Amino acid sequence: MKKGEERSHSKIAAGFADVHNHMFAEYAFGGAWLHGHVVGPIEQALSSCEEEADHAQVTLPFISSFIGRIIGSTGDTGNHSDKHSGFPDFKGWPRWDTIAHQQMWEGHLLEAHQHGLSLLVVSMMNFEPLCNLMPKNNKKFEDCSDTFAVNKQLAVVHDFEKTHSWFKIVLTPLEARQAIQDGKLAVILSIEASHIFGDGDWRKEFEDAYSQGVRTLQLGHQMNNRFTGVAMHNPIFRIISFINDFLNMKHWWNIFRPGLFGFRYEDDPITRVRKNRKGLTQDGRDLLQEMMKRGMMIDLAHESEKAVREIQAMTKARSNYPVYLSHGHFRPAMNDGKFSVWEKASEDWIVDYIRDSGGVFGLRTGPEKTMSVPGTAAPNDCQGSSKSFAQSYQYGNSRGVAIAFGSDLNGFIQQIRPRFGNVNETCGAEENKSERERQQKAQTKPLNRSFDQTGFGDMSKLPDVLAELKNFGVNTENLESSTENFILMWEKAIRATRVSDYFLR
């Protein structure tokens, strides 16, 4: 905390934070993609999926299996006969490569909370093109709109709060501090969707979301929209968008014209990274102003670099209003040929902007290959594992930015790989077979927990990531201060509005 700043409460908020999580994604995509439930006895909520026909597939079967493979594994999509098994043996899921099965069961979340997780940002999510490709027989809801999916998840998360005394949705930083002091998990609500607030009066939908407790959001996600240009990354989302538009347009050739999901790129002459030429629209600027009037937290995740530059100018003009990035990568630390060249990964100037604003960087717990970062206590000898995460974490520390976890659990994305067990996945981000085998043999100091074999597969294992880092001798103070740092950022946003915390309820 900088000199002259005051907390909304005198006691420091203990614990660590996960600032990007899709707790109720079972209600996204028409309810047709994710198997398993947050709520219920473990034998029911995490029961095996005996038939592949009930989830994890789209109307075109070959695409269903392709989805899992393009992300980076044999996949738990399509006919995933080797990954059906949930309770009681959990041989199939949840594991590090789970993208179509539940990772946020209430018992696992409570376990993480009991071991230090004190703040959670729950993001309501959807992706309309994917929902439109779900088989009708699998859908629980006809409406594929982002608005419907977001409102459904908001209703469910409020219902969950009513029946779980340890789970507290907070509307102000003061409430967050009080909830944590009372031993509860402080929960902040967010939104991540490409078609956020629909095509009509966005101000009405924005007010509706705010009245339901939303205190942070992303302006964009996988596709350009009415508010902003976004940073394209995994090609699967453009493929899904392409197929959806192809099937729904009478004149299919129109999909080749740049539209809402179309991207006009330019290559950066220095970094050679291909970047979206679209930045903020006037609607995007107006939405940001409305957020800042209320002391809401601005999430830079998925923004094009052009949009980030424009947001930076707006926030600096408003008392250096703080920003954060809920789930991201440090591009200079990556060595995977993906996030090392994709616009979505953050260059140093973005990290420095977040730091200087008083913000927080949510570091993705991903399975990617990284560079060996000087000063890292952990050797970089198991690519894609917690040792790779340690390299990225050290890189962020070297930039002086506050860091939190940005897990993206239930978010259609893979997690930290295991260091022991199956030779086909252990240290599997290393593509060279002989080097991968050398890395596998070099592993020591297991936790003697299921994390050793499964990697980061569900929320109960987030404390295991911290435990691994400590075993390696990594200084985890930054992560273990992430709840306090996130609340400090929120308090700074409130101060920038020049209105009382009381009036923002």
User: pLDDT per residue over 484-496, tens digit each?
Assistant: 999 999 999 999 9
Backbone dihedral angles phi then psi of residue 345, each to the nearest 5 degrees: -70, 145
Does residue 206 carry a pLDDT above 90? yes
Among 328, 308, 327, residue whose Cα is nearest residue 316:
308
pLDDT at 502: 41
Among 436, 481, 408, 321, residue whose Cα is nearest residue 123:
408
3-state secondary structure of 95: coil
Burial of 375 (0-12, 13-18, 19+ CB in 10 A): exposed
Q: And the tokens for 198?
A: 């629909």
Q: In the chain, what's the furthest Cα-to-Cα distance?
A: 62
- Domain residue spans of the chain: 16-499
Q: What's the mean per-residue pLDDT of the chain?
A: 90
In whole angstroms, what is the distance from residue 178 CA to residue 171 CA? Answer: 11
Segment 174-188, tens digit of pLDDT = 999 999 999 999 999
pLDDT at 275: 85
User: Quick check: 418 and 453 in contact, CB under 8 A?
Assistant: yes
Buried b (16+ CB within 10 A) or exposed e, 327-356: bbbbbbbbbbebbbebbbbbbeebbebbbe
Instruction: For residue 123, give the H/E element and its range.
Output: strand 117-125
In whole angstroms, what is the distance from residue 140 CA to residue 87 CA? Answer: 23
Sorting pLDDT into bands at 50, 70 and 90, what band is 51? low
Sorting pLDDT into bands at 50, 70 and 90, what band is 254? very low
Instruction: Tell me which DSSP letter residue 365 carries.
Output: -
Query: Look-up: residue for tokens 């995490």?
Result: 46
Segment 87-130, tens digit of pLDDT = 999 999 999 999 999 999 999 999 999 999 999 999 999 999 88
Please give the average per-residue pLDDT across 475-485, as a whole number: 99
Query: Look-up: residue for tokens 């616009």?
Result: 343
In whole angstroms, what is the distance from residue 97 CA to residue 330 CA? Answer: 21
Query: Look-up: residue for tokens 């996600």?
Result: 221
In whole angstroms, what is the distance from residue 133 CA to residue 495 CA? Answer: 45
pTM score of the predicted model: 0.93
Rama region for 445: left / alpha / beta (φ>0; ψ in -120 to 50; rest): left
Segment 131-159, tens digit of pLDDT = 998 999 999 999 999 999 999 999 999 99
User: Quick check: 163 and 156 in contact, CB under 8 A?
Assistant: no
Buried b (16+ CB within 10 A) or exposed e, 102-113: bbbbbbbbbbbb
pLDDT at 501: 45
Please give the average per-residue pLDDT across 452-457, as a whole number: 97
Q: What is the 3-state secondary structure of 136-154? A: HHHCCCCCCCHHHHHHHHH
Segment 271-312, tens digit of pLDDT = 778 888 889 999 999 999 999 999 999 999 999 999 999 999
In whole angstroms, what is the distance from residue 378 CA to residue 500 CA? Answer: 45
Among 235, 236, 412, 231, residue whose Cα is nearest residue 328:
231
Query: Look-up: residue for tokens 């050739």?
Result: 253
Q: And the tokens for 21?
A: 């999580």
Burial of 282 (0-12, 13-18, 19+ CB in 10 A): exposed
Among 20, 114, 97, residue whose Cα is nearest residue 463:
114
Q: What is the 3-state secondary structure of 287-300? A: HHHHHHHCCCEEEC
Domain spanning 16-499 has what CATH number? 3.20.20.140
User: Quick check: 405 and 18 in contact, CB under 8 A?
Assistant: yes
Query: Look-up: residue for tokens 């596709």?
Result: 223
User: Quick check: 211 and 231 in contact, CB under 8 A?
Assistant: no
- Pairing between β-strand 117-125 and β-strand 167-169 as defined by DSSP bridges: unpaired
